[in-house]
Structure 1
Amino acid sequence: MHVLVVEDNPDTRELLQQALKNAGHVVYQALCVHDALRLSRMHPNIDVVMVDVHPGHRPSNVEVAQEMQRQLPNGHCVLASGDWDTLESSCMKDMTVLRKPYGKSDLLRALERCAARFGIAETRKIHA
């Protein structure tokens, strides 16, 4: 799968990239909204956009995820947040939710659920 990670924390972004690459995914990194939108236009083959949701950001990362889903012909979103109430009230039915704190196996299972829900072909099965 081709995965776009939208994460403003460089350490977290690097950990996510390594975990996803080690699982056989192609990973693009964005540190901000504008970077994510630019990358989604440059790489229309992105299957999943993983977005870290921060309450109070404008535009919200959920809104950004929705915009990227409109731009990407096959793009689907995994939303990650520690603010569970925000996730429950704001996420669309066609987005997968990943609740913080999460580990590598949780991350990979969320991608696997997203792939299964939307028929995204995976090159490798995830073993957690």
Structure 2
Amino acid sequence: MAILDVPNPVVLVVDDEPLLRLDATEALQSAGCTTHEAGDTDEALQMLVLHPDISVLFTDINMPGPRDGMALAEEVHRKRPDVHLIITSGNERPGPAEIPPDGQFLPKPYDMEIVAGIVSGYPARDKLA
């Protein structure tokens, strides 16, 4: 289930809802991840340039600005294919063909233990049922 089995992955959390972004950031930090945050896709692209050690993009689809989270994930996949992608939404359910290669979709509401497990390789498989 884990998309990244390395110690201390660096995760960029992108969500325009501050409380959801904070929840995700805190859960990932508790799981041993280093995190960076962005409130929109433009800020996320800047963070990826400023922090080349980012190894995971965790983004909501519905974002303000010129591109949504799916377009962000596609751009990150083109520019930084080494970055693992977790795409989330409470409103949309993209099909497998819509998600960039090696990306993973996680519907909202999600259990933060599942998010931490996906990113850091902790066993969270039993929570998916």
TM-score (ref. length: structure 1): 0.78
Instruction: Tell me the C-alpha RMSD between the 2 structures.
Output: 2.1
1:103 maps to 111
Alpha carbons of 1:11 and 1:52: their partners in 2 closer, same or farther (altered >3 Å)? same
1:93 maps to 101
Number of equivalences:
115
In the TM superposition, residue 25 of structure 1 has moved relative to its aligned partner by 0.3
Contact 2:88 2:105 (8 Å CA) reproduced: yes
Alpha carbons of 1:30 and 1:56: their partners in 2 closer, same or farther (altered >3 Å)? closer
2:69 maps to 61
Percent sequence identity is 28
1:16 maps to 24
**Superposed CA offset, 1:46-102 (max 9, x none):** 1110010128974221111111223335212100112353x2152123211111111
Show structure 1 runs of 5+ residues with no match. 113-124
SS in 2 for 1:5: strand
Question: What one-letter code is carried by the residue in structure 2 that aligns with 1:43?
Answer: H
Q: How far apart in 2 are the matches of 1:43 and 1:12?
A: 22
Q: How far apart in 1 are the matches of 2:16 and 2:98?
A: 20
In the TM superposition, residue 106 of structure 1 has moved relative to its aligned partner by 1.9
Question: What one-letter code is carried by the residue in structure 2 that aligns with 1:77?
Answer: L
Show structure 2 runs of 5+ residues with no match. 1-8, 125-129
Alpha carbons of 1:38 and 1:55: their partners in 2 closer, same or farther (altered >3 Å)? closer
In the TM superposition, residue 107 of structure 1 has moved relative to its aligned partner by 1.1
Which segment is superposed worse, 99-108 or 45-54? 99-108
SS in 2 for 1:74: coil
**Bigger RCO of structures 1 and 2 (CA < 8 A, at least 6 apart):** 2
Larger helix fraction of residues: 1
1:117 maps to none
Give the one of 118, 121, 126 matched to 2:122: 126
SS in 2 for 1:40: helix
Alpha carbons of 1:34 and 1:52: their partners in 2 closer, same or farther (altered >3 Å)? same
